[in-house]
Amino acid sequence: MASLGAELTGVEPGACEIRLPYQAGLSQQHGYFHAGALSAIADSAGGYAAYTLMEADESVLAVEFKVNLLAPARGDIGDAAVARARVVRSGRTLTVCQIEVFVERDGQETLCALMQQTVIRMAGRPDTA
Amino acid sequence: MASLGAELTGVEPGACEIRLPYQAGLSQQHGYFHAGALSAIADSAGGYAAYTLMEADESVLAVEFKVNLLAPARGDIGDAAVARARVVRSGRTLTVCQIEVFVERDGQETLCALMQQTVIRMAGRPDTA
Amino acid sequence: MASLGAELTGVEPGACEIRLPYQAGLSQQHGYFHAGALSAIADSAGGYAAYTLMEADESVLAVEFKVNLLAPARGDIGDAAVARARVVRSGRTLTVCQIEVFVERDGQETLCALMQQTVIRMAGRPDTA
Amino acid sequence: MASLGAELTGVEPGACEIRLPYQAGLSQQHGYFHAGALSAIADSAGGYAAYTLMEADESVLAVEFKVNLLAPARGDIGDAAVARARVVRSGRTLTVCQIEVFVERDGQETLCALMQQTVIRMAGRPDTA
């Protein structure tokens, strides 16, 4: 995330927000945020939201996610992208998160991606990052 | 893709291969390739595979994708990641692709991600990149 | 849907609710609602929610969906399953819906499935069902 | 599956085939196989393929799946639907399957749905069905 220029802008139990200011290198051929960049911050936000509910000696790893990219023509050209994740179900082994990604432009937010993600609990494996 | 350091290593009608040499900035906390980087090259490979079947005045845009991240402990630490996409169904409006991502390590490949992707045809909108 | 015994219990612009009373034939080996039945009512609810925003000469067809099945042990044994769909983005060609499926048991609801679905607009093809 | 009229037509380690003869009740408004029926046999075939790799005291449960419905106009009106599943990765906790669903018509098969599915191993919980 650091290499993308993303920053953690909010975290509480079961929720997380990550913000990615616009950079030229992250756009794709039409001038939008690249789907890969939007997915990367959504995936990270979901993983972090899940991690807030783990014990001290546990970490998390995403096992799968699905993302819908919404209306690029209207939304994805912007000043920043903001991913907001919340845990929908926290199970013993698997946690399911839902993540919305908004593009900010002149102070207004437009929903531009929607993700469902599954994360696995890694017991006895604290996060050392 | 260029900003990630990825390169197009193969393309034919309905198929595409993209290779991403390992870089420190692309790893996540456990030392694997970050899911976001694997997804980004898979998404790009699928989009490109779909694009090979378009007319001159058409371009493509991914509308959604789903990726399963497979067995990171065994596969994702490597010298490079290689995404291989093929078009499963090319329709009038939508194209469905399947993309496999392998991690190369000491000349051996391990499947580390599997993606299903839907791409939309953008008629009358040539790709100007 | 009729063959499953499902009924339409709510509809408004961009939203739909479908209810499936429990039947023995819909359960799977552990005694829960079968994932296929939960997916079927979720898919139908999403398609119907999208359809409420179409013109008179248009119909809809689901092009893909992804569903997470949540905590079966706690939720899916019940008196009925209820799918509630809402349109997240209605585009010119594609509509994206989100559908929650709850299991009702003794008057209490438990979220048991979460779906993201993409639906395509079929112009000039009214629904004749 | 029995209530749908589906039958198990093939099984080997890591693979499974389920066949669903056409029945009027399974179609949707345009006369195709209903996406819910196609998804149900795909989900069951994947679960069974995963189950072939389990130990005697283990069972499986699908945790999520994603399905693309391909070109209904050309393929889904048929004599039977056939789901063929194979295990892509069998892990300690999670198994990932890929399932193709074909529609048979006059002896010819057309690919009509493609699924990626994640299944969880239920240790110490033999299947009693």
CA angle at D52 for the pair D46 and D53, rounded to the nearest 5°: 105
Q: What is the pLDDT of residue B123?
A: 84
Supply D67's token pair.
């399905």
Residue A63 C-alpha, separation from nearest chain D C-alpha, in angstroms: 9
Nearest neighbour of B70 by CB, restricted to D68, D70, D96: D96
pLDDT of residue A23 exceeding 90, the answer is no
Q: Mean of the pLDDT values across residues B67-73?
A: 79
HEC profile of chain C: CHHHCCEEEEEECCEEEEEEECCHHHECCCCCECHHHHHHHHHHHHHHHHHCCCCCCCEEEEEEEEEEECCHHHHCCCCEEEEEEEEEEECCCEEEEEEEEEEEECCEEEEEEEEEEEEEEECCCCCCC
Is there a contact between A94 and D63 if contact means CB atoms under 8 Å apart?
A: yes
Task: Convert the pLDDT of each residue in B6-27 to its tens digit.
Answer: 999 999 999 999 999 877 655 5
Q: What is the pLDDT of residue C120?
A: 95
Q: What is the pLDDT of residue A71?
A: 66
Higher model confidence: residue D117 or residue B128?
Answer: D117
Is there a contact between A63 and D120 if contact means CB atoms under 8 Å apart?
A: no
The answer to whether C116 faces chain A, any CB pair under 8 Å, is yes
Residue C113 C-alpha, separation from nearest chain B C-alpha, in angstroms: 17
Nearest neighbour of B120 by CB, restricted to C66, C93, C116: C93
- Per the CB < 8 A criterion, the answer to whether C38 and C112 are in contact is yes
Q: Mean of the pLDDT values across residues D54-78?
A: 83
pLDDT of residue A129 exceeding 90, the answer is no
Q: Please report all neighbours of D, defined by 3+ CB atom pairs within 8 A.
A: A, B, C
Q: Mean of the pLDDT values across residues B41-49?
A: 96
HEC profile of D75-117: HCCCCEEEEEEEEEEECCCEEEEEEEEEEEECCEEEEEEEEEE
* Mutate: best of D90, D94, D98, D114, partner A, most A CBs <10 A: D94
Q: What is the pLDDT of residue C104?
A: 87
The answer to whether D64 faces chain A, any CB pair under 8 Å, is yes
The answer to whether D8 faces chain A, any CB pair under 8 Å, is no
pLDDT of residue A97 exceeding 70, the answer is yes
Q: Mean of the pLDDT values across residues A51-80?
A: 85
Nearest neighbour of C66 by CB, restricted to A66, A89, A111: A66
Is there a contact between B93 and C120 if contact means CB atoms under 8 Å apart?
A: yes
pLDDT of residue A26 exceeding 60, the answer is no
Task: Convert the pLDDT of each residue in C44-56 to its tens digit.
Answer: 999 999 999 999 9
- Which range among A83-97, B31-45, B51-65 shows the weakest confidence by mean pLDDT? B31-45
* D60/D127 Cα distance (integer angstroms): 8
Is there a contact between B63 and C94 if contact means CB atoms under 8 Å apart?
A: yes
Rounded to two decimals, the pTM is: 0.91
Q: How confident is the model at residue B116 (pLDDT cuts 50, 70, 90)?
A: very high
Interface confidence, given as ipTM, is 0.87
Q: Please report all neighbours of A, defined by 3+ CB atom pairs within 8 A.
A: B, C, D
Residue D98 C-alpha, separation from nearest chain B C-alpha, in angstroms: 9
Q: Which residues on chain D are in Cβ contact (under 8 Å) with C30?
A: 59, 61
pLDDT > 90 fraction of chain D, expressed in percent and rounded: 61
pLDDT of residue B32 exceeding 70, the answer is no
The answer to whether A35 faces chain B, any CB pair under 8 Å, is yes
Higher model confidence: residue C94 or residue C75?
Answer: C94
Q: What is the pLDDT of residue D74?
A: 45
The answer to whether A29 faces chain B, any CB pair under 8 Å, is yes
SS3 B16: strand
Q: Which residues on chain B are in Cβ contact (under 8 Å) with D91?
A: 70-71
CB proximity list for B17: less than 8 A, separation 6 or greater: B8, B9, B10, B11, B45, B82, B83, B84, B85
pLDDT of residue B30 exceeding 80, the answer is no
pLDDT of residue B107 exceeding 90, the answer is no
Report chain A's mean pLDDT, rounded to a whole number. 86
Q: How confident is the model at residue C28 (pLDDT cuts 50, 70, 90)?
A: very low
Q: Which residues on chain C are in Cβ contact (under 8 Å) with A76?
A: none
C-proximal residues of A, 77-106, CB under 8 Å? 88-89, 91, 96, 98
